[in-house]
């Protein structure tokens, strides 16, 4: 009897997943121009061994394209121009671990969240001068590396330091990768980064980096579109289907646990 119920449960799950897939819109081969930065390991980056652009967001959006019967064409943009470029319609969808917040909602449309982000302190291995954000803030000699305009920058300003966005203890860099290189070189003492990307950089620099302290807030990542874009609903449908059938969880395992740079 138990075996029979188990088989029925499996069949019901398969039917539910199949029904979800059948409801996805068919974009009939439409070209979707997607943009990212290639500087946010492991979400989007260029593999040093192969020179190939890859990452969690690449895999996710390519899969969304397949499910929606759309053709994804990839483009690259710097972080500081990406949101405006998507807002202006230069690209159809953008991604770079972009936190969903009210200010950005006034500029672009967001998809439903595809990932939960928590900010953690990334430090050099064996850091002994501080154990949490309060200890770092109390020592005026300690510096923070950040990329201007990012969630990491604002958390550093308002959750770690004194709320002054021009505080000289925050050293600005053009990419997340540059902040990590500065950390490794000893030019800054801490970089704030979401847990997923921290794992990527720790894995890429074995024995050199570690997370310290607890999470400093929780944020949701979403894909961005021009306001009024007809792609938001199809993307949301695909995200829901990929959550339901475990695809997003498999991407988490691939890029945050199994990937070896």
- Look up the CATH architecture of domain 26-114+222-258: 3-Layer(aba) Sandwich (3.40)
pLDDT tens, residue by residue, 60-103: 999 999 999 999 999 999 999 999 999 999 999 999 999 999 99
pLDDT tens, residue by residue, 1-18: 444 434 434 444 444 444
Confidence at residue 203, expressed as pLDDT on a 0 to 100 scale: 85
Work out whether strand 93-94 and strand 30-36 pair parallel, antiparallel, or are unpaired.
Answer: parallel
Work out whether strand 209-212 and strand 115-124 pair parallel, antiparallel, or are unpaired.
Answer: antiparallel
Confidence at residue 9, expressed as pLDDT on a 0 to 100 scale: 43
- How far, in whole angstroms, is CA 42 from its chain's centroid? 8
55 to 73, 82, 154, 222, 261: CA distances (angstroms): 15, 18, 25, 16, 11
Among residues 116, 78, 117, which one has the least CA distance to residue 94?
Answer: 78
Six token digits for residue 192: 């704030």
Alpha-carbon distance of 219 to 107, in angstroms, equals: 18
Spans of the chain, pLDDT less than 50: 1-21
User: pTM for the whole thing?
Assistant: 0.75
Alpha-carbon distance of 231 to 68, in angstroms, equals: 10
CATH code of 118-218, in short, is 3.40.190.10
Confidence at residue 136, expressed as pLDDT on a 0 to 100 scale: 97
CATH 3.40.190.10 domain locations along the chain: 26-114+222-258, 118-218
Contacts of 23 (CB under 8 A, 6+ apart): 237
Owner of token pair 């390991």: 41
**Backbone conformation region of residue 28, classed left if phi is above 0, alpha if psi is from -120 to 50, else beta:** left
């Amino acid at each position: 009897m138990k075996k029979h119920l188990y088989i029925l449960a499996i069949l019901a799950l398969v039917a539910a997943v199949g029904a979800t897939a059948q409801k996805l819109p068919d974009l009939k081969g439409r070209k979707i121009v997607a943009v990212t930065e290639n500087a946010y390991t492991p979400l989007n980056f260029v593999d040093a061994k192969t020179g190939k652009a890859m990452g969690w967001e690449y895999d996710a959006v390519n899969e969304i394209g397949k499910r929606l019967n759309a053709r994804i064409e990839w483009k690259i943009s710097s972080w500081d121009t990406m949101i405006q470029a998507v807002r202006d319609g230069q690209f159809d969808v953008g991604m770079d671990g972009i936190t969903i917040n009210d200010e950005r909602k006034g500029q672009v449309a967001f998809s439903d969240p595809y990932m939960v982000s928590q900010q953690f302190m990334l430090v050099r291995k064996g850091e002994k001068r501080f154990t949490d954000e309060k200890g770092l803030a109390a020592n005026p000699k300690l510096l923070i590396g950040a990329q201007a305009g990012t969630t990491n920058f604002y958390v550093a300003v308002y959750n770690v330091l004194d709320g002054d966005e021009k505080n000289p203890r925050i050293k600005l860099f053009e990419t997340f990768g540059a902040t990590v290189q500065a950390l490794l070189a000893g030019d800054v003492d801490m970089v704030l980064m979401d847990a997923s990307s921290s794992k990527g950089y720790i894995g890429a620099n074995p024995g050199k980096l570690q997370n310290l302290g607890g999470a400093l807030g929780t944020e949701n990542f979403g894909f961005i579109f021009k306001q009024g874009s007809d792609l938001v609903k199809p993307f949301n449908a695909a995200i829901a289907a990929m959550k339901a059938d475990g695809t997003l969880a498999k991407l988490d395992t691939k890029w945050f646990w199994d990937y070896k740079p």
